[in-house]
Amino acid sequence: MNTIGHIINGNEVTEGTRQQPVYNPATGEAEKQVLLASQETVEQAIASAQEAYPAWRNTPPIKRARVMFKFKELLEANAEKICQLIGEEHGKIPHDAMGELQRGIENVEYACGIPELLKGEHSRNVGPGIDSWSEFQPLGVVAGITPFNFPVMVPLWMFPMAIACGNTFVLKPSERDPSSTLYIAELLKEAGLPDGVFNVVNGDKEAVDTLLNDARIKAVSFVGSTPIAEYIYSTANANGKRCQALGGAKNHAIVMPDADMDNAVNQLLGAAFGSSGERCMALSVAVAVGDAAADALIAKMKDAMKGLKVGAYTDSSNDFGPVITAAHRDKVVGFIDSAEADGATVVVDGRNPQVAGHENGFFVGGTLIDGVTPQMNSYQQEIFGPVLQVVRVSSMDEAMALIDAHEYGNGTCIFTRDGEAARYFSDNIQVGMVGINVPLPVPVAYHSFGGWKRSLFGDLHAYGPDGVRFYTKRKTITQRWPSAGVREGVSFSMPTLK
């Protein structure tokens, strides 16, 4: 069985005895094992990054950008291999894995512009012979802790920009599907990145806590569930670190009576069931305004879902694959059971799908549930599976109040032909990312990604302009060169210019 280790100072490290299996979720079999880093191993990675930092910090931004340009080329040239690794360990169908990779590559493209992004501000003659300017300097050694659901894209949200800004990086990817991350680390070295600038350690809470408590780590970026995000944020802040921690979601789509129902159904199919619903931006609740709209939505969704195909990543004709583990499959099924027990109607039942040749895989089929109410546990919790719940309301105001009342505020969408309603919705809804007839309003790489309320802990969003701000600190310099022979007297007042 293949053993997956770590990358420290440009070399593979396979020391240690703690390990856990890495499953192929389509077969249910453990095909690899991953080493779990000890505190000592993580400290080695931090030390490697600390040693590499001074030289990398002083590397001209244009040279850092050239590494990113080459890295982008290598990601594109090796896309098929990367997507295969995602499929083997996460279960994503090739077209979905390729979409994940492309969104990650776009963040690398944005980082390629770092010479422009790091340009500061300059003001001449703010006082007599005095010039002032600001510049953006790297923080030092920074860390990223990333989730299983996007093993390539989410790391690419973090380390390309952090490294381009002049920091060195320690990444702790998900131990459930680590191989694609290690492979792109090899490509980054091939692109010309000096050893020690980027290090990868696989592990569990011991590795995470080491990163959070080590004084050499200056900032931590995290994506995962809200309870862990809150823990990461509070611990990092207690240790004086900058932190952005992106948490969970319960994304609602309002379906207005005037919506193009056929378009709404097509969009909801992909947004609810794509990637097996294991997306923090998955649309898991459709809020239908009026019974007529709800009945039409249910009827059309039920008919459209007859064609959904769930299966292994090896068949690219499948729409989505398995969920990540047997335990997670059981959790998703448990939410379906609880909704039914609470009085909701399971219109399309995805429990126990039969996938020929993969009977032991961790599959859940597309599931549609009607009659869900806000009091139900399945509504309150993030299911993170291929389950779409329908809540019926009588007005748009009631729908918006429902969304605003939820503890999460990651993403939302409205399906309507009414421009006034769309504008009112986008102006007033208390959610960080909003779509108008766009069900997955994930910002492009030159904007920034982040939710509101308990979907984000920290002031800055991920990637884009906020990514530059997160991975740098501003320094403002005020300078004067007095003329020869000119000396000023002592002043004890605040300097002013009248």
Positions marked catalytic: 280
No. of helices (H) and no. of strands (E), the chain: 16, 23
Residue count of the chain = 498
Number of CB atoms found within 10 A of residue 406's CB: 22
What's at 109, amino acid-wise?
E
- The count of other CB atoms within 10 Å of the CB of residue 456 is 24
Angle between helices 79-89 and 61-77 (to 10 degrees): 70
Print burial letters for 469-496: b (CB count within 10 Å at least 16), e (below 16). Answer: bbbbbeeeeeeeeeeeeeeeeeeeeeee
Contacts of 454 (CB under 8 A, 6+ apart): 226, 230, 247, 248, 407, 408, 409
Give the orientation angle of helix 39-57 with respect to helix 205-213, to 10 degrees. Answer: 40
Chain centroid, CA 223 distance in Å = 5
Render the burial of 151-182: b for 16+ CB within 10 Å, e for the rest.
Answer: bbbbbbbbbbbbbbbbbbbbbbbbbbbbbbbb
Is the Cβ–Cβ distance between 439 and 198 less than 8 Å?
Answer: no
Structural element, H or E, at residue 346: strand 345-348
Q: Is 29 exposed, middle or buried (0-12, 13-18, 19+ CB in 10 A)?
A: exposed
Instruction: Please choose, from the candidates 160, 144, 162, 140, the residue with its C-alpha nearest in 3D space to the C-alpha of residue 51.
Output: 140
Q: How many CA atoms lie within 13 A of 54 on its CB side?
A: 2
Among the listed residues 55, 75, 51, 52, the one whose alpha carbon sits nearest the alpha carbon of residue 63 = 55
Please state, in angstroms and rounded to a whole number, the distance separating the CA atoms of residues 73 and 90: 24
Give Rg (Cα) of the chain.
Answer: 25
